[in-house]
Structure 1
Amino acid sequence: MIILLIYVAIFVVTFFVVKFVAQQAAKTDYTSLKTVTFGDESTVTPNRIASVVSVLTIFLLWGSFTGSKWVPGFLHAPGPFTGVAEFTYTAEADGQTDDALVRVLVHPVGEEATDPEVEPGDGFAKNDAATVGAWRSGLIRVDQNDELGRDAGHTVVAVNGQPIAPGQSVETDFGRVGMSPKGTLNFEPAKGWQMEPIWLPPPEAVMARLIDISKDGYRDSTLWEHLGYSLFRVIVGFFFGALIGIPLGYAMGLSDWFRGWFDPIVEFMRPVPPLALIPLVIIWAGIGETGKIILLFLAALWIMAIAARAGVSGVNITKVHAAYSLGASKFQIMRHVIVPNSLPEIFTGARVAMGVCWGTVVAAELVAAEKGAGMMIMVASKFQLTDIVLMGIILIGVIGFGIDILMRKVESILVPWKGRS
């Protein structure tokens, strides 16, 4: 929630700052002004400054809340407490009360540590020492070294002078001291705002893992083989989905019989997530490559069919009438009017379908896959290798984004009339 609020705040502040700077520049640069119509899609293009700031904001938030070395220290969110923590407890036993000190060494996770030194002290309650990892918690049996133990009715009644009972806790300067139902103290150091590496590793850890896997591979295959297999499956599944879906969409858009026949099927299958089809695909096609490609084919098929149908249905009827008035045949109308005017919708559907296929490839590679980015992610998640999981997600996103940019370029070349009447 804190990260989301910071992100929203940066978005709002940046928006107003950039708009203010643009307005100041426009006051002196009259040649940059042009008249536009509100709602004109052709005038809305990505603001490059906003794109750069957006990416930098995400990176800075990631680095700040993971304590990254790539982000200046003054931008780091408060981290977990590490060092020596101390608190006192009041013990009651055999009608007597006594205070003792507990000294806890809070060390980074993964590092070995020994209990800090502490003098036993006077009285029946003796001072204690323990170690706890950052982001962790640990039980502290303070009664084990006290002269009057549980056989004498030993109970802890206060921490730092504040009363405590089973199920309650006391906040200290170093963290929270709670009491279990059996009366044992539990120390939980302050966690701060930073994420534990097992949940979200810093950027440099992900980059280091990427370099290692690029050199040494992962599970007997190189990184490029994993990415290549995923890309191959996505492209083949998308190709066959478009090969069947586009003609089906054209048929539904041009014939009331085809539309009546296939519309219930398409509209029924469209909201069904591809993940729900995995058991059925396994039964039908097994766990080999065929099953994975079929799943991706089904993910793209209905999207391409709907996009082609929408493209045909959206053709301006006046253009059809004009072509008829000029003596065009049905084939010529199809070739020169319907297909060109439906291509923008089809390319939009293709971009959506490709994104869905990339999102489905992870699920497709869940089943007995030996290679693939999705396989890397799933295997790494079983061993809590979050850096590999995050690396795979980033690579899938980068490749998907690259494919989308490529499809936009192809669309701008093949359909230069998009957005024009």
Structure 2
Amino acid sequence: MTEQPPQKPAGIFARLARARPTKPGEIYGVPGHGNTLWISACSIAFFFFVWWLVTFMGWVKPLFVPSPATIVAKFVTVWNDGFTGTPFLEHVWISTVRVFGAFLLACVIGLPLGLAMGMSPVMRGIFDPPIEFYRPIPPLAYLPLMIIWFGIGETSKILLIFLSVFAPVVLGARSGVKSAAIEQIHAAYSFGATRWQVMRHVIMPSAMPEILTAMRIGIGFGWTTLVAAEMVASTKGLGYMVLSASQFLQTPVVIMGIFVIAVIAFAFDLFMRFVERRLVPWKGRM
């Protein structure tokens, strides 16, 4: 009896079986970042066009939505003259130091703790309840406690941002540990690997994608909390600039400050994406 050749899968399964990545950024026939970039650029252009049209036609009062040209003019003015007697770049620098200082502190403490929680049921049982308890609480809720306990100086501001970043980083590291296949861990131990070698060569590579994603999410929470952190006894910073301008109905300054915060946060997110492509090039690939 002659052996029959294997039957090819039908329909979509046949196409998937024959498909191969053909271009950078493509995964089995799915368009990559090139098309997405053009779509994003068109979306942003459409947003600014609608914004300009609404203000140009006078459908919304300038007090509520200033025109894009007004925002640009205000940015140039603040860049040249500063805001409340402080140079614009100093406001940017102070806020950046606060956010990234808290972010680095959260990573130094949160990543080892998250890894320990993922590997040890005892550590998970000890630290999971308090983290899950405070995680959904808005930063404004425990801002008064930060002021009572640590005063109105820089400590309370950095700690407030730290708490908003800490939980996502810890939970991301803990979840990343579970990404390591138990078969790989048992195989490493069977070949005589030590606990540190298993952590270094098996668990960490599997956990890195989720850890980097958690860091991106955490820094976003940090910038979100910045305005709340600079509400009390601040005279410098982007959050202070936005809040102070809102009290005097300076809408162009408010929108300009929001855009500056968004640009800085987005620039760091692009940097983290670059790090992801270098450290975990297999992420998102089949």
Same fold (TM over 0.5): yes
Normalised by the size of structure 1, how large is the TM-score? 0.60
Q: Determine the C-alpha separation between the residues in 1 that align with 2:19 and 2:178.
A: 34
1:175-194, aligned counterparts within 5 Å?
A: 194=59
1:154-165, aligned counterparts within 5 Å?
A: none
Letter in 1 for 2:237: G
Q: Determine the C-alpha separation between the residues in 1 that align with 2:223 and 2:264.
A: 9
Letter in 2 for 1:390: I
Once the two structures are TM-superposed, the CA of residue 35 in structure 1 deviates from its matched residue by: 5.0
Structure that is richer in helix per residue: 2
CA contact (8 A) 2:20 2:28 kept: no
SS in 1 for 2:55: coil
Q: Deviations over 1:273-327 (max 9, x none)?
A: 2221111101111111111001011111111110000000221112212212322
Normalised by the size of structure 2, how large is the TM-score? 0.87
Q: Determine the C-alpha separation between the residues in 2 that align with 1:42 and 1:337.
A: 30
SS in 2 for 1:66: helix
Q: Deviations over 1:183-239 (max 9, x none)?
A: xxxxxxxxxxx1100000000000000001100111111110001100000000111
* Alpha carbons of structure 1 residues 35 and 417: separation in structure 2 relative to 1, 3 Å: closer
Structure-2 residue corresponding to 1:338 = 203
Alignment partner of 1:300 out of 165, 179, 184: 165
Residue 320 in structure 1 maps to residue 191 in structure 2: no
* Alpha carbons of structure 1 residues 406 and 42: separation in structure 2 relative to 1, 3 Å: farther
Residue 359 in structure 1 maps to residue 248 in structure 2: no
Give the CA RMSD over aligned residues: 1.8
Residue 283 in structure 1 maps to residue 148 in structure 2: yes
CA contact (8 A) 1:42 1:419 kept: no
Structure that is richer in strand per residue: 1
1:12-411, aligned counterparts within 5 Å?
A: 34-35=19-20, 43=30, 45-46=32-33, 47-67=36-56, 77=57, 79=58, 194-411=59-276
Letter in 1 for 2:103: F
CA contact (8 A) 2:102 2:161 kept: yes
Q: Determine the C-alpha separation between the residues in 1 that align with 2:195 and 2:74.
A: 59
Structure 1, gaps ≥5 residues long:
1-32, 68-76, 80-193
Q: Determine the C-alpha separation between the residues in 2 that align with 1:42 and 1:419.
A: 14
Q: Determine the C-alpha separation between the residues in 2 that align with 1:319 and 1:44.
A: 32
* Alpha carbons of structure 1 residues 44 and 235: separation in structure 2 relative to 1, 3 Å: farther
Identity %: 44
Structure 2, gaps ≥5 residues long:
1-17, 22-26
Q: Determine the C-alpha separation between the residues in 2 that align with 1:242 and 1:42.
A: 37
CA contact (8 A) 2:19 2:28 kept: no
Letter in 1 for 2:42: V
Q: Determine the C-alpha separation between the residues in 2 that align with 1:50 and 1:259.
A: 43
Q: Determine the C-alpha separation between the residues in 2 that align with 1:50 and 1:347.
A: 25
Higher RCO (CA-CA < 8 Å; seq separation 6+)? 2
Q: Determine the C-alpha separation between the residues in 2 that align with 1:275 and 1:399.
A: 23
